[in-house]
């Protein structure tokens, strides 16, 4: 398959073909029906037709090309002919048609070029406007989609907040056997995942006491190196930090110490084993500190109630 020819070349070929066809028709009419003298007896001369057509259709260059051919035909036909009048009148009679053709080709051709330039400018402006309109429509559609998503998220957040408030209220009044289930659901709503384990800290020992996904897998105790780092840092550890990655290997992505509101000792550790990467924002990590505070307060009160129950039983 041959490659497509450039547009200017195709236009030049079309101009040549159209000129050849028009002049061939005029020549056949002149030779077959008239005297073959380049329509010298016809006024206005039909040789104006290709000049005007080319200048109107393609501009100055095509008009001048048609004028050159028409002038050549005219001068060849005038060779050997005599015109009335003196020498200057004869010279004027011979040169007047080509001169008028050249003036018409230049004038009409420049008007055609000006019109084409204006049309091209308007077409480009229209395309730019259509492109901007399409972009604006896309932006409006995106804004409408974001607005709907935001409204749905606000509605969901309102339901989540109401649910969290209700669970928090129920947590204080729930029976001991129901309290763990309420706490599990609150944590899932707070951190956005079920893949977590809450470890109870008793001295140097740690025990898993709460599984977000209700898994029955026995989790290994947290290493002494990890606990030492948590006691030293008093803040969460992230597996994405190079100096903390080894400590959390085989444990999880985040380790959050739960501090007692009174003694500020670590009473539990919340380990998040898996979570969507896009949720690990600075705001989420800051919110984890707030979750640590209320979870520490709840666990402390629960332990205090448990110890009071044990003392009453012993008494």
CATH at 295: 3.30.450.40
Is residue 229 included in any domain, yes or no? yes
196 within a domain of the structure (yes/no): yes
CA distance 193 to 60: 75
* ∠ CA 34-39-43, rounded to 5°: 120
Using only C-alpha atoms, what is the Rg of the chain?
47
Specify if 239 maps to a domain: yes
For residue 119, being part of any structural domain is answered with: yes
Residue 200's H or E segment, with its range, is: strand 196-202
Domain stop point among 77, 106, 129: 129
Q: Judge whether 152 and 144 are in contact, CB under 8 Å.
A: no
What stretch of H or E contains 205? strand 205-211
Examine residue 171 and state whether it is found in any structural domain, yes or no.
Answer: no
Task: Judge if pTM exceeds 0.75.
Answer: no
Note whether 202 and 280 are same-domain residues: yes
- Half-sphere exposure of residue 197, counting CA atoms within 13 Å on the CB side? 19
Among 2-6, 73-77, 145-149, 263-267, the range of highest mean pLDDT: 73-77
Assigned token pair, 100: 């008028």
Q: Is residue 169 part of a domain?
A: no
Quick one: tokens of 47?
């040789």
Neighbours of 136 (CB within 10 A): 10
With bands split at pLDDT 50, 70 and 90, how would you rate the model's confidence at 88? confident
Which of these, 245, 252, 150, lies nearest to 197 by C-alpha position? 252
At residue 310 the predicted structure's pLDDT band, cuts being 50, 70 and 90, is very low
Which residue range forms the structural domain that includes residue 205?
190-314
Instruction: Calculate what percentage of the chain has a pLDDT beyond 70.
Output: 79
Residue 85 has pLDDT above 60, yes or no: yes
Give the count of domains, the chain. Answer: 2
CA-angle at 104, arms to 87 and 89, nearest 5°: 10
Q: Is the pLDDT of residue 173 over 60?
A: no
Let me know whether 50 and 125 are in one domain. Answer: yes
Answer whether residue 162 is part of any domain. Answer: no
For residue 245, tell me if it sits in a domain.
yes
| The pLDDT value given to residue 42 | 82
Which string of b and e fits 206-227 if b means at least 16 CB within 10 Å? Answer: bebebbbeeeeeebeebeeebb
What was the pLDDT predicted at 309?
45
Is residue 217 helix, strand or coil?
A: coil
Structure tokens at 176: 């001991």
Q: Which residue has the tokens 């996904």?
A: 213
Which of 111, 129, 147 marks a domain boundary?
Answer: 129
| Residue 206, pLDDT above cutoff 70 | yes
Q: Is the pLDDT of residue 107 over 60?
A: yes
Is the domain of 28 the same as that of 105?
yes
> Are residues 102 and 207 both part of a single domain?
no
Mean model confidence pLDDT for the chain: 79
Residue 124 shares a structural domain with residue 13: yes
Q: Are residues 11 and 123 in the same domain?
A: yes
Pick the last residue of a domain from 129, 144, 171.
129
């Amino acid at each position: 398959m041959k490659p497509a020819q450039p547009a200017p070349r195709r236009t030049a070929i079309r101009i040549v073909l159209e000129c050849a066809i028009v002049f061939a028709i005029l020549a056949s009419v002149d030779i077959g029906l008239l005297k073959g003298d380049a329509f010298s007896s016809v006024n206005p001369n039909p040789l104006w037709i290709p000049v005007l057509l080319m200048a109107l259709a393609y501009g100055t260059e095509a008009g001048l090309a048609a004028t050159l051919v028409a002038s050549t035909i005219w001068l060849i036909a005038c060779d050997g002919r005599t015109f009335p009048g003196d020498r200057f009148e004869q010279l004027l009679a011979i040169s007047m048609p080509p001169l008028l053709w050249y003036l018409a080709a230049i004038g009409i051709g420049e008007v055609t070029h000006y019109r084409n330039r204006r049309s091209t400018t308007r077409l480009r402006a229209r395309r730019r406007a259509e492109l901007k309109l399409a972009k604006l429509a896309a932006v409006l559609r995106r804004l409408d989609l974001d607005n709907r998503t935001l409204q749905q998220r606000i509605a969901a957040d309102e339901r989540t907040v109401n649910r969290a408030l209700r669970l928090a209220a129920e947590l204080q009044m729930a029976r001991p056997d129901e309290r763990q289930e309420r706490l599990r659901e609150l944590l899932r709503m707070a951190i956005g995942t079920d893949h977590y384990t809450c470890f109870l800290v008793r001295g140097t020992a740690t025990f898993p006491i709460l599984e977000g996904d209700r898994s029955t897998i026995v989790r290994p105790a947290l290493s002494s190196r990890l606990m030492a780092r948590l006691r030293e840092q008093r803040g969460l550890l992230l597996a994405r930090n190079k100096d903390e990655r080894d400590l959390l290997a085989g444990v999880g992505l985040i380790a959050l110490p739960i501090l007692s509101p009174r003694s500020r000792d670590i009473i539990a550790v919340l380990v998040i084993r898996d979570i969507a990467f896009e949720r690990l924002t600075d705001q989420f990590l800051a919110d984890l500190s707030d979750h640590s505070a209320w979870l520490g307060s709840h666990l402390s009160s629960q332990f205090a109630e448990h110890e009071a129950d044990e003392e009453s039983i012993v008494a």
